[in-house]
Amino acid sequence: MRVAIFASGNGTNFEVLAKQFQDQTIPGDLVLMFCDHPDAKVVERAHRFKVPVETFTVKECGGKQAYEERILKVLQDYQIDFIALAGYMRVVGPTILDHYDHRIVNLHPAWLPEYPGLHSIERAFAGHRDQTGVTVHYIDAGLDSGPIIAQRHVPILADDTLDSLESRVHEVEHQLYPQVLKAVLTDLTKKEQG
């Protein structure tokens, strides 16, 4: 499987995944990192792992449709089989979805369907709940609404700050996402080999 990771920001999840692709803990070849923010820290991380980078913005493409068509062209050029979203902060539209049905997974820092969209950790913390979570799911045309593959709870402790909660959510992400990707890609590879 030729895999692309899409990211928008710091790239800590990208780094965890890149290490596991390199040592083959996760099967497949990580052949592309796409980022919609050319100056994001994840770009630097990808260069460090010698993963090819493509980066451009919606604005420079003149709108979402043209942007997604350009991404699709990049995916085809790299012969991408599977996409892992790791902190990619845009909703993927039908231009890409139609070509990658059931081949795009996302990591979301909440127990979906609670807190879809942005600022999930902040909203869970502000909601005075006793727990939140991490969800890995296939994406569909909705906002964080695709079929759930795996979830893990993260307790919200009485003495938590937003920072301490965020850091525990990220720890769980860094454990759960590689495990799920390994299982999904192993399964897909077996199916393809028939």
| Strand pairing category for 82-85 and 104-108 | parallel
Is 13 annotated in a binding site? The answer is yes
Q: Which residues are catalytic?
A: 108
Q: Is 20 within 8 Å of 26 (Cβ atoms)?
A: yes
SS percent in the chain: helix, strand, coil, step 5: 40, 20, 40
Could you tell me which of 34, 14, 30 has the C-alpha nearest to residue 22? Answer: 30
Is 106 annotated in a binding site? The answer is yes
Cβ-count burial 23-42 (b if 16+ within 10 Å, e if not): eeebbbebbbbbbbeeebbb
Residue 37, strand partner residues: none
Range 118-124 contact pairs with CB under 8 angstroms and sequence separation of 24 or more: 118/89, 121/162, 121/165, 121/166, 121/169, 122/162, 124/156, 124/165
Is 10 annotated in a binding site? The answer is no
Is 50 annotated in a binding site? The answer is no
Count H helices and E strands in the chain, helices first: 7, 7
Binding residues: 11-13, 64, 106
Binding residues for (6R)-10-formyltetrahydrofolate: 64, 106
